[in-house]
Amino acid sequence: MIEVKDLYFKYSEKDAFSIDHISFKINKGEIFGFLGPNGAGKTTVQAILTGLLKQQGGTVLYQGKSIEEQKEDFYNKIGVSFEFPNLYGKLTGYENLKYFAGLFSVPTVDPNFLLDLVGLKDITNKRTEQYSKGMKQRAVFARALINNPKILYLDEPVSGLDPTTARNIKQVIQKEKEKGTTIFLATHNMFVAEELCDEVAFINEGKIVTIDTPKNLKLQYGSKSVEVEYKMSGHVHKELLFLEKKDDKSKLQNIIANHQIITMHSKEASLEEIFIKVTGRGLI
């Protein structure tokens, strides 16, 4: 469905690559998670895939047709939810969606239904300048669904939302997938990715470090991990070590031999822990 080959991008000649020769494929109807910390290049990739940014090198193909060749009809088929909400503040939530719907040449969804879906039913007639950031984000998410998109781009869709609202949004995303929508999900929230994605790509400093299903990643990195708590110089330290990695294995042997062990047990690593292990940095 979507095929990206050797894509690269830099914001200026002097800068390092923001996107450094990345390649991936997204199959129809799957949720593809693009995971990485802030500034890793997730939003830049989404901007290139949606045509907001001009690609400098590599190819982006939609069913074999380049993004550069896509015409007006392409935008009838996609929905985009931005990380930073962009709504007309002087229009109500309902008006923002209703007017946006008027720009499409395909059947659209009832704005009230969508606003209800994301928990904004009670404030549909309130101007969005009076919404909180989370409310605006949900309104933008609802707007992305207005044209029944075949491809959905979501940039940090649950960032900053309370757990209940985040769960509702995740359910909506899951329902979209069940309808056959292909979803590109850019996030730094590994729990969301773990819960929703069929396949995930770890992106760090513009490069894709690894791509696989969450299950395979866990099998590959997480099944033989040990969490150990030990005392060193009077302080308690905690480490997650992957026994398949030589360095980790010898580190564990060193801890057992030279320090007082408080607790030690095998555990399945989370995607976040795997990300840290693979990239050497956290997700924030």
Partner 1 sequence: MKKLWTLLKIDYTMALRGKFILLTLILAILLTVIINFVLPEKLNTEMNTYILDRTSNTRIATFLNAQGDEGNAIKIRATKSEEELTSMLTKSNGVGIIFEDNRVIIVKQGYEDEATLNLITATINLLTKKLTGVYSPKSFKYTVLEPQSTEKLPFNKSMIPPLIALDVFFLGFYLIAAMIFQDKNEGIINAYRISPINVFGYITSKVVINSSLAIALSLILGVATVGFHMNYWHYFVIVTLSALLISSLGMLLSQFYNSLSEFMYVLIAFTLVIAIPVISYFQPSFSVPFFKYIPSYPIMFEIKNIISSAQSKEIWSVSLLLAVELAGVLTLVYFTSKRILFGRRRSS
Segment lying near partner 1 (by CB under 8 A), choices 89-97, 160-168, 182-190, 239-247: 89-97
Among positions 1, 53, 226, 240, the unique one binding partner 1 when judged by CB under 8 A: 53
User: Is residue 113 within the footprint of partner 1 (CB under 8 A)?
Assistant: no
Q: Which residues pair with 276 in a beta bridge?
A: none
Please, which residue, 11 or 113, has the CB nearer to partner 1? 11
Q: Compute the distance between CA of residue 149 and CA of residue 187 in angstroms, rounded to an integer.
A: 20
Number of residues forming the site for partner 1 (CB under 8 A):
35
Biggest alpha carbon distance in the chain? 70
Among positions 28, 54, 231, 237, the unique one binding partner 1 when judged by CB under 8 A: 54
Supply the minimum distance, in Å, between the C-beta of residue 43 and partner 1: 8
Segment lying near partner 1 (by CB under 8 A), choices 29-37, 100-108, 168-176, 254-262: 100-108
User: Is residue 78 within the footprint of partner 1 (CB under 8 A)?
Assistant: yes
Q: Which residues pair with 264 in a beta bridge?
A: 228
Residue with tokens 């982006």: 60
171 Cβ neighbours under 8 A, 6+ residues apart: none
Segment lying near partner 1 (by CB under 8 A), choices 31-39, 83-91, 199-207, 266-274: 83-91
Quote the Cα angle for 62-67-71, to 5°: 100
SS3 4: strand
Write the binding mask 154 to 183 for partner 1: x where contact by CB under 8 A, - elsewhere: ------------------------------
Q: Which residues pair with 199 in a beta bridge?
A: 32
User: Is residue 109 within the footprint of partner 1 (CB under 8 A)?
Assistant: no
Supply the minimum distance, in Å, between the C-beta of residue 126 and partner 1: 13
Q: Compute the distance between CA of residue 246 and CA of residue 216 in angstroms, rounded to an integer.
A: 20
SS3 280: coil
First to last CA, the chain: 31
Q: Compute the distance between CA of residue 37 and CA of residue 188 in angstroms, rounded to an integer.
A: 5
Please, which residue, 87 or 166, has the CB nearer to partner 1? 87
Residues of this chain that interact with partner 1 (CB under 8 A) are 11-12, 43-44, 47, 50-55, 72-73, 75-76, 78, 80, 82, 84-91, 95, 99-100, 102-105, 127, 143
